[in-house]
Structure 1
Amino acid sequence: MNHPRSLAYGVTPSRPGTLHARSVTGGLAVAPRPGATIRFGRGGEPEVDLCVGEDDLRVSRRHGELSYHDRQWWLRNTGQQLLRLPRGRMMHTSTEPYPLATGYTPLFVRGSGPREHLVELYVTHHGDEGMVARHAAITVPPRRWPLEEDERLVLVVLGQRYLLYETEPRPLSYREAAAELACVRPAEKWSRRRIEHKVEAVRHRLSKGGDFPHPVVREREGAGPSDHTLLHNLLRGLVDSTTLVPPDLELIEDGFTG
């Protein structure tokens, strides 16, 4: 086993391709050398290089590994529980190794009951100073998308359960939204078709921009996710980015109060 060099994670600049890994119990960094390997799991040294979920018997002693070859770091699941990557991607022991992109990747190890154990991964790139502490730097705001006033109103009505941060929210149907808008803005004659048209306009505009985090239009007619799933993706992306926020619910509440 290659034993990586431990360090106070996040304060040391490093060469491009260096992998930084951190759990709640410690951190380490490994230079991009062919054959370099990091093993993580519940076991201690020398069984693993990074301890994860040390008190959780659902976590395997050797739950996963990261190895460097073909000029890239590759993640593999070697444990009994699933690994979870961003955007809901799951890895089983039968899953092909996953290539890590440069930058930050959070990795979650399934544990007992609802527990998940976080492993933070960071691969440096050219011109990158690594995970250097930047206490006084200005905070970078989330990417938000502009919406017209009536688009925001429609999306707030459709996505009110998302703005209440329910556990598994689903959008209102267009028919339900039309009925609610008839109460909130009775003079504006909101129909199901008008609502659908507004949503389609937003979906296509955001998809054309190329930087929305979820698919919101079909790649070709008749193929891909359903309209309901695409609407869910749209609302999830707008709420997660704080383009839509809980105070927007006042658009509905003020209408009902009036």
Structure 2
Amino acid sequence: MTGTDSRARGVAPIPAGTLHVRTVYGGVEARPEPGVTIRFGRGQRPGVDVCVGEDDLWVSRRHGELFYRRRRWWLRNTGRQLLRLPRGRLMHATTEPVPLAVGYTPVFVRGSGFREHLVELYVTGHDDERVPRRRAVTLPPRRWPLDDDERLLLVVLGQRYLLYEEVPRPLSYRQAAEQLAYLRPGGDWRERRIEHRIEAVRRRLHAGGFPYPLTHDKSAGGPSGDLLHNLLRGLVESTTLVPPDLELLEDGP
């Protein structure tokens, strides 16, 4: 079969709001009609419509369901293990149903050991044509502007992130100040100055639409270390900081 679209084949176009559910075991398509419910889990028909984790006893036989209500598709966890959504959002069986946005949503079912089972969800939009773009130029990730001192400072603080450790954490400002004093002797690398410099970067990137929270309401409290983690995580994921930047740590006197 060629890659022609549905109009070229004479097939009726897929209506907006249609839900596509797929796992490694197959998938289903559901039209946006009130009362429609799609169930996924380890079980088999008629209990579930889409199988996931068929050999993993940590996956419930009915682990989740999708239903159409108020002109939207909603996701509910009906299993014993958590569901993980984009941006690290977790769903428990007691969590209220979550509405799906138009487009692609990956959902991960927690399994045994380190296993996670993927359920791919896709809701078509009004202008959704899904035209193949195999020859189109690849879009680069959005990289964030940093000056030389900011890059060096962030590489020192985030060197564990650039080593792609499983659960990386930033160096402390004291540790960073000690290493920077060795790498760039004569510079003003006091802990307080480092903290102010990082705060300036956070505020600038936050104003530019950074994908993770970089500021918090001081009246509500909250650890600033989490904001630094968000900053380093976003810079590494966007390839603004990359492993070759670790060579900056070898430029000692």
Distance 1:241 1:31 in 2: 36
Matches of residues 45-64 of structure 1 in structure 2 within 5 Å?
45-64=45-64
Distance 1:16 1:143 in 2: 29
One-letter identity of the residue aligned with 1:217: T
RMSD of aligned residue pairs (Cα, Å): 1.6
Q: Which residue of 2 aligns with 1:184?
A: 183
Distance 1:232 1:51 in 2: 36
One-letter identity of the residue aligned with 1:62: R
Displacement after TM superposition at 1:114 (Å)? 1.1
**Which deviates further from its counterpart, 132-141 or 186-195?**
132-141
Q: 2:241 aligns with which of 240, 244, 247?
A: 244
Displacement after TM superposition at 1:133 (Å)? 4.0
Distance 1:79 1:99 in 2: 18
Tell me which stretches of 4 or more aligned residues in structure 1 moved more than 3 Å.
none
1:197 is aligned to 2:196: yes
SS of the equivalent of 1:229 reads: helix
Structure 1 alignment gaps of length 5 or more: 1-10
One-letter identity of the residue aligned with 1:21: V
Aligned length: 243
Q: Deviations over 1:86-123 (max 9, x none)?
A: 12211111111011111111100011111110011111
Structure 2 alignment gaps of length 5 or more: 7-12
Report the TM-score, using the length of structure 1 for normalisation.
0.89
Matches of residues 46-195 of structure 1 in structure 2 within 5 Å?
46-130=46-130, 132-195=131-194
Q: Which residue of 1 aligns with 2:228?
A: 231
SS of the equivalent of 1:188 reads: coil
SS of the equivalent of 2:152 reads: helix
Q: Deviations over 1:180-227 (max 9, x none)?
A: 001111132322122112111110011112x21211111x22324311
Distance 2:246 2:14 in 1: 46
